[in-house]
A and B are shown apart, each in its own frame.
Chain A
Amino acid sequence: MPIEVLLIEDSPGDVRLTREAFAEVNSSIHLHVAADGMEAMAFLRREGVHARAPRPGIILLDLNLPKMDGREVLAQIKENPGLKTIPIVILTTSNAEIDIARSYQLQANCYLSKPVQLDAFESLVKSINDFWLTKVKLPH
């Protein structure tokens, strides 16, 4: 049973890195990508071209997005009764305390800071996989 993962990330470089990193550790992932907040909401609401989009089992969200800021996306998803049970893992470059605090306030499930080094990043993705996609009971 493949796990549907929605990655909301605007940097194609980071997208590719994430994809590669996940591919290393888990072959049965369907990684969906939304490059900005609007697209993400459309995907989740199954609007427009995303009419047949699957419901993600988990969302990886970068905070620094164009158009609709990641914090807003987080707020919107958590306000939506139909979407709020989907765990949201913040995966962003910032490790500013204010970003961390705000994210938890908006009920992000957890906050991870993207490491600068490649191997550290790969290691992080692995731990996301080990924890969230292996141990954690996700809602269906």
Chain B
Amino acid sequence: MELIGRKGMATEVLLVEDSPGDVRLTQEAFREANQSIHLHVACDGVDAMAFLRREGGHQGAPRPDIILLDLNLPKMDGREVLAHIKDDESLKTIPIVILTTSEAEADIVKSYQLQANCYLSKPVQLDAFERLVKSINDFWLREVKLPQHSEGK
């Protein structure tokens, strides 16, 4: 008998996305795929960093188990966010899934250079998008062993 779900705790997902439409879509797609997810949203890089560092209004923010990161963000660009997180000893173990519209080779290579865990390009069509989100859920939240963390860092 395998225990499903880690200790019955919900999975904390941080979605860094400025387009409210995309946010909603992602929310819906995740709800379909997995009930026990807490989806947090940051709408720009600055907010995302604040959430991760538990600063400025995000004092009680939980540590995400995985981050979905759009590259094109206002204030602080997604590449910058990626770099910041991977530079931070306490944050760099959190897997970062780039989920962005760009398919440019330069963006892909740059992202892997900055050690993004994987790069996904957002499909245009809704059902394809839903399938993508489902596959993220199936792979990252079912198959993959995510690093666990003790709260209180």
Contact = CB atoms under 8 A, between A and B. Distances in A.
Interface of A: 78, 84-87, 95, 97, 100-101, 104-105, 107, 109-113, 124, 127, 130-132, 135-140
B118 A140 contact: no
A82 B117 CA distance: 17
Contacts of B95: 104, 109-110
Given A132-B118, A136-B120, A137-B119, A97 B108 contact: no
Contacts of B92: 104-105, 107
A87 to B, nearest CB: 6
A107 to B, nearest CB: 5
A112 B143 contact: yes
Interface in B100-153: 103, 105, 108-109, 111-113, 115, 117-121, 132, 135, 138-140, 143-148
A137 B108 contact: yes
A84 B109 contact: no
B11 interface: no
Interface of B: 86, 92-93, 95, 103, 105, 108-109, 111-113, 115, 117-121, 132, 135, 138-140, 143-148
A139 B109 contact: yes
Contacts of A85: 109, 112-113
A101 B112 contact: no
Contacts of A86: 112
B118 A87 contact: yes
Given A105-B93, A109-B118, A95 B145 contact: yes
A140 B103 CA distance: 12
A64 to B, nearest CB: 15
A105 B138 CA distance: 23
A94 to B, nearest CB: 9
A-B interface, 8 closest residue pairs, ranked by CB to CB distance from nearest: A85-B112, A104-B93, A131-B139, A137-B119, A139-B112, A111-B145, A104-B147, A139-B109
B120 A140 contact: no
Given A107-B92, A131-B135, A140-B105, A84 B115 contact: yes
